[in-house]
Amino acid sequence: MISIFDLFKIGIGPSSSHTVGPMKAANLFVSALSQQQLLMQVDRVQVELFGSLGATGKGHGSDIAVMLGLMGEQPQTTDVAAISQKIADIQAQSTLCLNQQHEINFVADKDLILNGRVSLPHHPNALTITAFTGNEIVYQNTYYSIGGGFVQTEQEAQAKEPVIESVKKLVPYPFNNAKELLQICQHNQLSIAQVVRANELANLSEDELLGGLNDIWQVMQDCVNDGCRHDGILPGGLQVQRRAKAIYQQLSAADSRKAFNDALAVMDWVNLYALAVNEENASGGRVVTAPTNGAAGVIPAVMHYYRDFCPSYTLQGLHDFLLTAAAIGIIIKENASISGAEVGCQGEVGSACAMAAAGLTYVLGGSPAQCANAAEIGIEHHLGMTCDPIAGLVQVPCIERNAMAAVKAINASRLALKGNGQHVVSLDKAIKTMKETGRDMMSKYKETAMGGLAINVLDEDFAAQSNLIPTLDVTVNYSQC
């Protein structure tokens, strides 16, 4: 099995596939140069972003991520507060220090090419990086950012090998789908959380597992807190006003007795938690990929709901929530996709909703069958959801979409807990349907900013003046993807 820590990654916004993935790819590239003792021979690097990366790269910060990766930065450790200055220095000096070791000339407008017109065969999110000495190619590789911060090289994609971060490890309870997982639970009298815990402990110590889970939860809490403190306009040109701080102040000032006379008052807090995370993500802050950045607010919002409004809350419950949610995410990743560029937002927010619904169901006393039922309800009611971010920015409709999915996850859990775990549609069938729906979905609705809200909200005159979205008369060929 792949690990829970492959699925939940600490990184930066605004996108796991368009920011975290390209940064990792560029970092892998300079690491390969160093390992092959080629780094000091390089005097120029050219990066070309294809397909969805090329179409919405500016809005997602893909260009910034690539430059950081070439400098040797990693998403989980880079200093978010220092990013703007580092990029400004590159642009002002037209130089870049490869892997923090070797300075080369680098002109972003010339050496970083956004090519949304062309797609490569293995995935819509692709980039090719080439190192030169003079006009001679020293080293070249192509990378695919396949969602959730996972990256494949060209060689791995051709061989259909596991991605670098998710090399599968031997575990006592391997499962490929929900049916197998439920059979394991029933045969061994284990919960889903216990199955995933046992699998993780086959390769990690107890302290490493608990430490990793606590780190994930801490970053989620910090992200909500930061989102409730920061205000102003989100970057990117859409003039989207942050709302979380104002909502937090309103809710904190409200008389608690009056607030709880409103049967839906808790929903305001759930909305707040999700908005806070995704506003931080949109501004390039530190978030947990869960399972993607575009859907990073759903699981933290539902976990905060469990912490703040459920009497059964315990820290152990939060750990079990994450373990249960991870099982659902692993099944979806193995059998469909968590990439908006591949299957639309049903693969991002839909997957996050399913994961959160299962996690909440378990900590509220649900059986494995009820957890799977909650996940199925969560994903079933996101089927067909398009990924059409305006201007390629992870802001509209992405931020509100996380709040809606968090509320759906809670409702899915409540529905499942009222039943016995049996449902007309199984989780595996819902996941299969999501994959097929994504395959049939028109490419312009899969993270290209060339369809749906992306072109209907911004008129062509505004788009042309602001340079926010790609030229709309470009024909993008994703037929091979």
pLDDT tens column, 350-404? 999 999 999 999 999 999 999 999 999 999 999 999 999 998 889 999 999 999 9
Q: Per the structure block, which two tokens stand in for 189? A: 């009298």
Q: Is the pLDDT assigned to residue 472 strictly greater than 70?
A: no
Question: Contact at 8 Å (CB) between 387 and 453?
Answer: no
In 3D space, the residue among 378, 373, 350, 358 whose CA is nearest the CA of residue 441 turns out to be 350
- Cβ-in-10-Å burial (0-12, 13-18, 19+) of 25 comes to buried
- The domain segmentation of the chain, as residue ranges, is 15-159, 178-445
Per residue in 142-173, pLDDT (tens digit) is 999 988 888 999 988 888 765 555 556 789 99
Q: Which residues pair with 46 in a beta bridge?
A: 130
pLDDT of residue 161: 64
Going by pLDDT thresholds of 50, 70 and 90, the confidence category of residue 473 is: very low
pLDDT of residue 203: 94
Per residue in 36-71, pLDDT (tens digit) is 999 999 999 999 999 988 888 887 889 999 999 999
Q: Per the structure block, which two tokens stand in for 80? A: 């978010």
The residue to which tokens 């949610």 are assigned? 325
Question: Contact at 8 Å (CB) between 96 and 104?
Answer: yes
Q: Which residues pair with 114 in a beta bridge?
A: 49
Per residue in 274-308, pLDDT (tens digit) is 999 999 999 999 999 999 999 999 999 999 999 99
Write the DSSP symbol of residue 29.
Answer: H
Topology given in CATH for the domain delimited by 15-159: 60s Ribosomal Protein L30; Chain: A; (3.30.1330)
Give this prediction's pTM.
Answer: 0.86
Rounded-to-integer distance, Cα 176 and Cα 188, Å? 17
Q: Mark out the alpha helices in 71-177 (DSSP H runs).
A: 83-93, 108-111, 154-159
Question: Contact at 8 Å (CB) between 481 and 126?
Answer: no
Q: Is the pLDDT assigned to residue 464 strictly greater than 80?
A: no
